Amino acid sequence: MNSPSRKQPISLIVPIYNEVENLRDLRLAVIAALEPAGIEFEVLLVNDGSTDGSTQLLDQLHEEDPRFRVVHFIRNYGQTAAMSAGIKHASHEILVSMDADLQNDPADIPMMLDKLDEGFDLVCGWRKKREDAFMMRKLPSGIANWLISSTTGVVLHDYGCTLKVYRREYVRDIPLYGQMHRFIPIYVTWAGARMAEVPVNHRARMKGTSKYGITRTFRVVLDLMTTVFLRDFYTNPLYFFGYYGFASIALGILCAGQAVIMKYKYLTWIHKNPLALLGVMFVLIGVNSFFFGLLAEVMIRMNFEIQKKEAYRVRQTRGVVARTPLIGRSQTPDGEGYEAATPPCVD
């Protein structure tokens, strides 16, 4: 396997929102961690609409050291959008993400790159000794980590740790919205990537104020529901709507049947029995669910047809000419994104 090494350059992606007090220390910490290890790097500083003077300081840092490159948003879009922009503008195939508040330690990056060299495609940091308040940060995070791991089957101790190392081929096509950046390990694992989790240093915030609150937990839960739906029903949404449609119609029939029984047994007028109205309502909801499912099916098929996408990804072929996109393969000279005809692969 052709795995990356310390000689392969990296792109470090750092979302920034009102961190003017930490930016110079961040630059010094990154240089001190990567230069002695002989790691060639660029730093993508994604300014997520900062209003505290970070914008001017970021431009100054770029002038002082061109390796520190800056992307300015016109307003605050959130950490997920900043991560997406960093991935899009990165120049190298090995991506590293971390926070700008220096609670993540850049000195852990060489160790994580060594772990990547062992054959993994994603290395996640685990803040095993976390320097945060228990009730406001540790407890909600622990509950969220358990919920995400048990729901998706991708087990991690710390989904909230931004310090991660990726192979770009697995993350460049992931659509990131809401708080989806924390679910990147889920998407790349579903795509067949090999993941490892390593304990990393976590430091207390020394300057500035935290941008996270307890309300973020509710947004994470909603995004988790979206992620699970896309995993199970993205290619066949009619199954999702159909299950609930059948259940709703069955419940409606039961209500209507009970209303009829009550009419003859207790001489109750059907039009005065709420069960009859509930029966009609549940049947209509069920029928509408089928229509929503059919519309979703049409939209999914249009998406695959317009973008010429397949509903699967192929890692490798043996004895056949691959005409579908292969994971980790570059485009062919004709630019179609397929592997050119090659002799059969021999074990």
Q: Tokens 């159909």 map to which residue? A: 242
Look at residue 213 and tell me whether its pLDDT is greater than 60. Answer: no
Q: What is the pLDDT of residues 103-119, one digit of tens each?
A: 899 999 999 999 999 98
What's the whole-number mean pLDDT along residues 199-211? 76
For residue 337, what pLDDT is reported? 42
Cβ neighbour number for residue 116 with a 10 Å cutoff: 23
Using CA of residue 15, residue 17, residue 20, residue 22, what is the dihedral sign? negative
Cβ neighbour number for residue 138 with a 10 Å cutoff: 14
Which value, in Å, is the radius of gyration of the alpha carbons in the chain? Answer: 26
For residue 339, what pLDDT is reported? 39
β pairing state of 41-47 and 68-72? parallel
What's the whole-number mean pLDDT along residues 312-323? 55
Question: d(Cα 93, Cα 102) in Å, to the nearest integer?
Answer: 24
**What would the two tokens of residue 197 be?**
């989790």
Confidence band of 346 (pLDDT split at 50, 70, 90): very low
Question: d(Cα 296, Cα 194) in Å, to the nearest integer?
Answer: 32
What's the whole-number mean pLDDT along residues 200-213? 72
Cβ atoms of 96 and 10 within 8 Å: the answer is: yes
Question: d(Cα 86, Cα 14) in Å, to the nearest integer?
Answer: 8
Name, in order, each residue with C-beta under 8 angstroms of 1's C-beta and a sequence gap of 6 or more: 119
Question: d(Cα 246, Cα 257) in Å, to the nearest integer?
Answer: 16
Question: d(Cα 297, Cα 100) in Å, to the nearest integer?
Answer: 42
Look at residue 89 and tell me whether its pLDDT is greater than 60. Answer: yes
Q: What is the 3-state secondary structure (H, E, C) of the chain?
A: CCCCCCCCCEEEEEEECCCCCCHHHHHHHHHHHHCCCCCCEEEEEEECCCCCCHHHHHHHHHHHCCCEEEEECCCCCCHHHHHHHHHHHCCCCEEEECCCCCCECHHHHHHHHHHHHCCCCEEEEECCCCCCCHHHHHHHHHHHHHHHHHHHCCCCCCCCCCCEEEEHHHHCCCCCCCCHHHHHHHHHHHCCCCEEEEECCECCCCCCCCCCCCCHHHHHHHHHHHHHHHHHHCCCHHHHHHHHHHHHHHHHHHHHHHHHHHHHHHCCCHHHCHHHHHHHHHHHHHHHHHHHHHHHHHHHHHHHHHCCCCCCCECCCCCCCCCCCECCCCCCCCCCCCCCCCCCCCC
Confidence band of 79 (pLDDT split at 50, 70, 90): confident
Look at residue 275 and tell me whether its pLDDT is greater than 80. Answer: yes
In what order do the strands lie in the sheet containing 164-167? 68-72, 41-47, 10-16, 94-97, 164-167, 122-126, 195-199
Q: What is the pTM of this model?
A: 0.68
**Between 276 and 266, where is the model more confident?**
276
Name, of 78-82, 165-169, 179-183, 266-270, the range with top average pLDDT.
165-169
Name, of 43-57, 230-244, 255-269, 329-343, the range with top average pLDDT.
43-57
Mean per-residue pLDDT of the chain: 80
